[in-house]
Amino acid sequence: MAGMAAPAALAQRDLTLVGAACGAVLLIGAAALLDLTDGRVGVVTSIGVVLASLTVPLAVAPHQLWNTLFAPPVLLIGTLVVVAIVAPGAIAPEGMPDSAGPAGRVLAGTVASGVTLALAEVLALAAIGLRRLGLH
């Protein structure tokens, strides 16, 4: 396999957990800003969370892989907290009263995004598993 780098050489290009998290935050922030153009958080933000949750385990150094298990819920809830503060009306699942505060909106948004969270966690686990298989 001429031209292919050795795994040890590729490992030097891995990010720290903080670096990968910063990249994920930028990705989700851009997706949320794009999604907020219609006044609601929806599919674009969900896709951003799933892609960022998949990317973090693929980008970090091998010794930090298990820490990335927490990335999907932290990224989703963090996004919802910021949106609830900046644009509270953007998180409005069906049946939510207009008088709900930021904490209620974050909780309702998290419950409404259950499929997104489950998919993000499964993909993150799959990425971690594939990385672990590739290390041995």
Place of tokens 């927490």: 70
Instruction: Express each pLDDT in 12-28 by its tens digit.
Output: 667 888 889 899 999 99
Q: Which residue has the higher pLDDT, 46 or 131?
A: 46
Query: Rounded distance, CA 119 to CA 56, Å?
Result: 14
Instruction: Express each pLDDT in 32-46 by its tens digit.
Output: 999 999 999 999 999
- With contact defined as beta carbons under 8 Å apart, do 69 and 125 qualify? yes
Which pLDDT belongs to residue 65?
87
Instruction: Express each pLDDT in 44-56 by its tens digit.
Output: 999 999 999 999 9
